[in-house]
Amino acid sequence: MKRMYLALLAGACSLSLGFPHAAANEAEFVTDPVVIHPDQSATPPSPAPVHLASADRPDLGGGFIEFLFGDRPGQDYQQGQAYRQQPAYQPQAYQRPPSYQQPMVYQVPMMPPQAMGQPAMGQSMMGEPVRPAFDPKYEKQLVDYDGKEHAGTIIIDTPNKFLYLVESNGKALRYGIGVGRPGFTWSGVKTISAKKEWPDWTPPAEMLLRRPDLPRHMEGGPQNPLGARAMYLGSTLYRIHGSNEPWTIGTNVSSGCIRMRNEDVIDLYGRVNVGTKVVVI
């Protein structure tokens, strides 16, 4: 490569003989020798600047000759210099957006149970009072009996809130019942004088005086307080009857009647007849 560059240099010098002022201008153009570096990545040294007027500047024809003897570098060299003079790329540190620097905390206001669809204490989902669960001890069951009453007799144990139907062989069916409130309990011996299924209800005058809001008459049905069956006791206004309020079984709740769950009163109704003896203690 070095020999090739020297040959080109010699050829260029020989071309200067054809110009009228070649000998006089040669010292002006080649005052310092120009060294071509084989390593193209290295920046060649800048030649000493020679300022000529536009009229005195010879036409060197451009190209390689212009590159060697001209007072300014060629276009390719200028582009390379411009590329090298660009500032190096400096990576910037990642800046987290402000929205991620501080997480937002939301405060959920406390709401009352009613606003959240939950019943308050003592109320159901429909706004009705919460009813106590039925006590299993008041379920119908077969128990031992060693009393003096004959089979087929009904015994009402008011203090303990049980009704017994005496059977043979020292046994009895026991049912849970609701009895009269204080002041409305009673005792005695009566007989079943009548039986009715889904009876109508006409509150007596004494009850209407205490409860004027009660209806004067109600047809039999699931909403009737006498329930599914009724067994009337003698000539009194007292009855053994069902109830649409099973949670009252085991309590003092009535005006003297004996109330049972509907399923229990239906079972008892099918086991006894008119004339059955009823002992209330």
Q: Record the pTM.
A: 0.55
> Two tokens at 189?
């011996």
Q: Residue 265: in which H helix or E strand, if any?
A: helix 262-269
Q: Which residues contact 138 (CB under 8 A, 6 or more apart)?
A: 161, 162, 175, 176, 177, 249, 250
Are the C-beta atoms of residues 139 and 177 closer than 8 Å to each other?
no
Q: Which residues contact 44 (CB under 8 A, 6 or more apart)?
A: 35, 36, 37
Please report the DSSP string for 42-92 in residue order: SPPPPPPP----TTT-----SHHHHHHHSSS--HHHHHHHHHHTSPPP-PP
pLDDT at 211: 82
CATH class assigned to 141-280: mainly beta
pLDDT of the chain, 281 residues: tens digit per residue: 545 555 555 444 444 444 444 444 444 444 455 544 544 444 555 555 545 444 455 555 555 555 555 555 555 545 555 545 555 555 565 555 555 455 555 554 555 544 445 444 445 555 566 788 889 999 999 999 999 999 999 999 999 999 999 999 999 999 999 999 999 999 999 999 999 999 998 877 877 788 888 788 888 888 888 999 999 999 998 999 999 899 999 999 998 999 999 999 999 999 999 999 999 99
Name the amino acid, one letter, at 116: M
Are the C-beta atoms of residues 264 and 246 closer than 8 Å to each other?
no
pLDDT at 207: 77
Instruction: Please name every residue paired with 279 in a beta bridge, in sequence order, or none if there are none.
Output: 155, 189
pLDDT at 241: 97
pLDDT at 220: 86
Domain ranges of the chain: 2-84, 141-280
Provide Rg for the chain, Cα atoms: 61
What is the distance between the terminal CA atoms of the chain, rounded to a whole angstrom? 138
Checking 146-151 for CB contacts under 8 A at 24+ apart, the result is 146/170, 149/277, 149/279
* Distance between CA atoms of residues 154 and 281, nearest Å: 11
* Distance between CA atoms of residues 37 and 56, nearest Å: 30
* Distance between CA atoms of residues 19 and 16, nearest Å: 6
